[in-house]
Amino acid sequence: MGVQGLTSLIKDNSHIYRDVQFRDSRLVVDGSNLSFHLYCTAGLDQTYGGDYAAYENLIERFVKALRGCGIQPYTVKNGVSIFQCDDHTDKKLETKKKRAKARIQTAHKNSQGWRNGAIMPLMCISLFRQTLVRLEVPVVRCFLEADREVAALASDWKCPVLSNDGDFYIFDLPAGLLPIPHFQWQKAAQRRYVPCKKYTASGFCSFYNIQRRVLPAFAVLAGNDYVKLEDMGVSLRLEHPVRAPNISWRRSHLEALLCWLGDFQEPQEALVAALKLMGEVSREKEAEVLQRLSVGMEEYQLPPSALGRFFTDGTVPPLPPKDQGLVPDWIRLPFTEGRLDKVILNVLRLRRVRLPSMVEHGRLTSSHLTSRPIRQEMYGLLLGEEEVEEYDREGLLLTSRRVRVLMEALEVEPSCFQGVEPHLRLLVAVTCYWMQNASPTPDLELQHALLLGLVAAHTIQHVDELLSDVCVVALQVKNKNATQSPVYFVAHAFNQWQSCVMVSMQLNQLLGFPLPEPQTTVTNSIIKSLMLCGSNCLLLMFSRLCGGKLFHQLVHRLWGGVHPELLLTRTPSSLELYRTLLAAVQQPQHRRTTHSLEDLTANLEQLNLPDKDKEAARSAAHQPKNPSI
């Protein structure tokens, strides 16, 4: 993100940073950036389908470390997905398409055992927010991209930002930026402060002898996610000093640009002068370039924060003016609180969705195809007869297609929930759907492995019991391959299930939670007790949401001839639950009773009203529409 090459430039001139002992302060956290960094730098699984419990434990330890130093984090997350754009001009769309194409290639290579990039498992985003809410860490989701809101809130509160996004090197933050890679929170317990490095725009400008007001001009002339000179068919012809062999052209160009900007006091003055360094261009072209550069600089002008009052007294930020005719007002509160997924806002605003990449072989069809009927149901509730443009992959190519709405998703009859506790019902319904619609159809071993995983997700007690039994059987079964490598079609089946879970949770949110969301909690005592089972059983430790490693391990055990109930013989309660789930998913499946679009959409606003307003809304709904009748 941000100016390409700027982070590396600052890293090579590390004395721009100042060492600090951070404690006793508010901290505005770039949530999207932190969630990715925590998972992908901890060595957690990206191949089997996700180390969800390990990730949850990591988040808990991070929050505990901050609180032990008197640091109060306030987490701000993006309101647009990684492929959406923050306005209707799509000025970042091409940049994000390139990144999406790169992720498809990375996911394919990672499925073959390569490690040339990071792909977050599908449920990590939901788990990150859910864990923070459980730990009572304030979390808010923006309607647009979070960068400006994060910077504006930190500016109002005079506290630092925690992020690894290069855009924060340009914002003039009063308390500066704490780059995540230098934020040594793991050392906080012994010291009661977090050793870290602090960046300030004033320190950067002093080092390069330029005015702070000129930094936005530097960003747009160097090229960022919003504006690039090459996209406008022009280039900046600067005199580069002779560079050392180990210095890249990009770094040399940035340093030459910074040196040149030292002669200017105001950013607009620099932009006008830059036009003379672009060769022979027409007046019309000059006007176009100047206008686009000027608009690009506006991204770094901070408005008053719309989030401060939400954190202090619950005042919900208004919708952006351009969206007030597209997004119903009742969405504001549940969306800001995170009770509605960001995909809902993106569908309403842009009619565009990018489906997250998953680690899977490019020769297989996208796992998201299985969950498409569920998404169609959600699109229908939101848009009626309109279309949504979905971006996914076909093989290794980024593709898009128009998805018609109002097509019924295949669902189960309520009778299948007999005996199933409420917090497992959504996962049971999704599993029924997955067994009928996954391609290829999951074999019995895969089906039984997933049900065993759901037993593990039932309660803390059952997790302990099941994993203990699996450990015993693992020692009894003479398997020459103690640590099996992932099988790509097993990973593909699990990815299809996760995709169905993700979309079903989004639809469940939209409908006002007719089914409770699955819980994803874990305790340190269970983790410590499982460590005693030996290294061969470490693959089984983290089983939240039917963790990917547990799923693969169970499949291998069942392929080896182990009967699924053998894993549960020592724990009658788990065996009973397994049989209940098996009976539920083996019932004949039927489409649910079809309701009209008007019936369903009429309930959406009421479902998301505060509790005190719901009764009034229900009463109003039952009043005659025509008083004369």
Q: Which residue has the tokens 């890679």?
A: 181
pLDDT tens for 459-499 read 444 444 555 555 444 434 334 333 445 577 888 898 999 89
The CATH architecture of the domain made up of 6-210 is 3-Layer(aba) Sandwich (3.40)
Looking at the predicted structure, is the pLDDT value of residue 372 above 50?
yes
Stretch 325-347: mean pLDDT: 86
- pLDDT at residue 434 above 60? yes
For the ranges 66-75, 106-115, 320-329, 401-410, which has the lowest average pLDDT? Answer: 401-410
Q: Is the pLDDT score of 598 beyond 70?
A: no
Token pair for 70: 């008197």
Structure tokens at 387: 């279309």
Question: Given a cut of 60, is residue 73 above it in pLDDT?
Answer: yes
Question: Strand, helix or coil at 173?
Answer: coil
Candidate ranges 112-126, 407-421, 586-600; pick with highest mean pLDDT: 112-126
Q: Within 10 Å of residue 98's Cβ, how many Cβ atoms?
A: 11
Specify the pLDDT at position 413: 72
Residue with the larger pLDDT of the pair 445 and 572: 445
**Angular region, 218: left φ>0, alpha ψ -120 to 50, beta rest:** alpha
Strand partners for 375? none
What secondary structure letter does DSSP report for 512? T
Mean pLDDT of 42-68: 89
pLDDT band at 119 (very low <50, low <70, confident <90, very high): confident
- Decide if pLDDT at 537 tops 50: no
Q: What is the pLDDT of residues 132-155, one digit of tens each?
A: 999 999 999 988 888 999 999 999
Has residue 31 got a pLDDT over 50?
Answer: yes
- Residue 549 burial by Cβ neighbours in a 10 Å radius (0-12, 13-18, 19+): buried
pLDDT (mean) for 419-426: 83
pLDDT of residue 91: 53
Cβ-based neighbours of 193, under 8 Å, separated by 6 or more: 21, 22, 23, 69
pLDDT at 303: 86
pLDDT at 263 over 60: yes
| Residue boundaries of the structural domains of the chain | 6-210, 214-298, 416-585
Give the whole-number percent of the chain exceeding pLDDT 90.
Answer: 27
Give the confidence band of 26 by pLDDT, cuts at 50, 70, 90. Answer: very high
Q: Is cis: bond before 440, omega within 30 of 0?
A: yes
Annotate 323-360 with three-state secondary structure: HCCCCCHHHHHHHHHCCCCHHHHHHHHHCEEECCCCCC
Checking if the pLDDT of 259 tops 80, the result is yes
- pLDDT-derived band at 67 (thresholds 50, 70, 90) equals very high
Q: How does residue 519 score in pLDDT terms, banded at 50, 70 and 90?
A: low
- Can you give the pLDDT at residue 174? 94
Residue 604's pLDDT band, with cuts at 50, 70 and 90, is low
Element (H, E) at 162: strand 161-163
Of 340, 442, 422, nearest to 382 (Cα)?
340
Overall pTM > 0.85: no
Given this model, what pLDDT does residue 241 score?
A: 67
**What mean pLDDT value characterizes the chain?**
79
